[in-house]
Chains A and B, each alone.
Chain A
Amino acid sequence: MKPNDSKSLLNRLSNTVADLPRSGIRDFFEVVSQMKDVISLGVGEPDFSSPWHVRESAIYSLEQGQTGYTSNLGTPQLRNRISGYVEKFFGISYQPEKEILVTVGVSEALDLAIRALCNPGDEVIYHEPCYVSYRPLIQLAHAVPVILETDASDGFKVTAAKLRPLITDKTKVLMLNFPTNPTGGGLTADEVKEIADLAVEKDLIVITDEIYAELTYDREHLSVAAMPGMKERTIFLHGFSKALAMTGWRIGYACAPHELIEAMMKIHQYTMLCAPVMSQQAAYEALRNPEEDIAVMKESYWRRRNFLHGAFTGMGLNCGLPEGAFYMFPEIKPLGISAKDFALGLLESEKVAAVPGTAFGACGEGHLRCCYATSMEELEIAMQRMQRYVDHLRES
């Protein structure tokens, strides 16, 4: 067998990786990238650049020659600010010295959390439709993914009633992400409390991905980690990408009891060593006075959410008003076409890109993820074109 023979190389891959499907997002990206002049509602990031004072501070730190490694946990200054911010915004207090770990985005933190917790065969419950990495990360840790399906009829919520029957004696972890990518779903205080009570009753560890927390529009966000009895069993993950428009810096953090942070740190120190120092400097600056930066961007997303919701409703598409994030998840099922065909047809005939709901789990079928973090001018054109496409489908 020749090592440069591609077929033989495929045979040498780890079974876990060979069995892992490619992200549906990536398939769709390859189709879109072949086309010109597309209006894209397919992005998963803000249309703002990072606040100028954040960028300026990173430039300054580079000029000062701050280019070395940092502590594995992240710089003490940044961990201090994270601790202060999480206490202020979420009402949860973590010690910067031993309960906070700075990571390369929440993506890394998710991977560390699952790997630190799971033995082969442990069951991890997560809700679909969800961010594309949840299931693969569970599989890469040789744990067993257990899907909790959510749907439009109940606003894509996780409820204790839906959760209870999925819990077995092998269930170790529950993963939550509210507000949710791709649905924009959120939870009320009562709903969070019910989930927390069940997690305590069944002795589950909860990983909560709070990346869209600040982008909650019509009520105060409440984290499950803030509920009684939860801090000691929760890994709280957050970052700077969405509310502070810092996706490319790749900077996030995990807050959890010391034992869990220490376990995650073991993997982090051998795989990543530390998050990039310039990104840590930028994140430190971003948390100096984040409320103002966030408020300006949030106001702008709020307006666009209202506009897009009106547009979809006007087209006769069923679309709940999302509680958070910057995504709409309208239902196209009544048009008698699959999500994938709808998305491809919309792209080919009207040059508007939106991601088929199935990229976020099988139960996303019949839906489309439309990101409204794009300019109002483009949103208006995109909605006119989509209206035309929907009319065309109804006529044929």
Chain B
Amino acid sequence: MNHLLALLKENARISLEDAARQLQMTPEEVAAGMDALEKDGVIRAYQAVVNEDKLEANSVTAVIEVKVQPEREGGFDRIASRLSRYPEVTSMYLMSGQYDLMLFVEGDDLRTVASFVSEKLSSISGVTGTATHFRLKTYKHHGVLMESTHETERLQVSP
């Protein structure tokens, strides 16, 4: 992975100047590098990692295993593309193993998610089965621990 991408994956809000100072580049080179990564579709978005459990109005997240009948033309991709366009679906992957697609679905409450599954998801032709699991608590999201870990103390001066 290139140095710039590694840095942005840790901190996408870093200024061009600060990134330049850390990467032996000029701010212009950093900007050009980011443009290129965006243009090539490597960087798709810059988002905040949020601890949903801290929010008062807690949304509901479900992980849904979906079995589908692959089509003769297009395999899994066409049906996956249709499913992924629902705004309720926040992440979606093609999986190996017992089922085919894994969907992360977010809704305001349990009923919203339930109706998504029963009314939208299961009515799509090609979907042959679903299993829905609700998220109870988030420990880690996108590589970030949701609870601040205790800082260990180092000696202030050591050889």
**Residues of chain A at the chain B interface (Cβ within 8 Å):** 23, 25, 28-29, 32-33, 38, 40, 42-45, 47, 49, 131-133, 181, 299, 302-304, 306-307, 310-311, 353, 355, 376
The reply to whether B22 and A23 form a contact with Cβ atoms under 8 Å apart is no
By DSSP majority rule, is chain A's interface helix, strand, loop, or mixed?
mixed
Residue B81 interfacial (CB < 8 Å): no
The reply to whether A299 and B22 form a contact with Cβ atoms under 8 Å apart is no
Number of interface residues of B (CB under 8 A): 15
The reply to whether B7 and A353 form a contact with Cβ atoms under 8 Å apart is no
User: Which one, B7, B21, B24, B157, contacts A40 given CB within 8 A?
Assistant: B157
The reply to whether A299 and B158 form a contact with Cβ atoms under 8 Å apart is no
7 A–B contacts from the bound complex (CB under 8 Å): A25-B158, A43-B156, A43-B158, A45-B158, A181-B159, A304-B22, A353-B157
Identity of the chain B residue whose Cβ is nearest the Cβ of A304 in the assembled complex:
B22
Whole-angstrom CA separation of A313 from B33 in the bound complex: 25
**What chain A residues lie within 8 Å of B37 (beta carbons)?**
none
Residue B32 interfacial (CB < 8 Å): no
- Give the one of A29, A42, A181, A303 with max B CB within 10 A: A303
Residue B155 interfacial (CB < 8 Å): yes
The reply to whether A23 and B159 form a contact with Cβ atoms under 8 Å apart is yes
Whole-angstrom CA separation of A133 from B157 in the bound complex: 15
Residue B98 interfacial (CB < 8 Å): no
Whole-angstrom CA separation of A28 from B158 in the bound complex: 9
Q: Closest CB-CB distance, A135 to chain B, in whole Å?
A: 13
Whole-angstrom CA separation of A45 from B157 in the bound complex: 10
Whole-angstrom CA separation of A49 from B145 in the bound complex: 15
**What chain B residues lie within 8 Å of A40 (beta carbons)?**
154, 156-157
**What chain A residues lie within 8 Å of B154 (beta carbons)?**
40, 43, 45, 47
**What chain A residues lie within 8 Å of B6 (beta carbons)?**
299
The reply to whether B21 and A32 form a contact with Cβ atoms under 8 Å apart is no
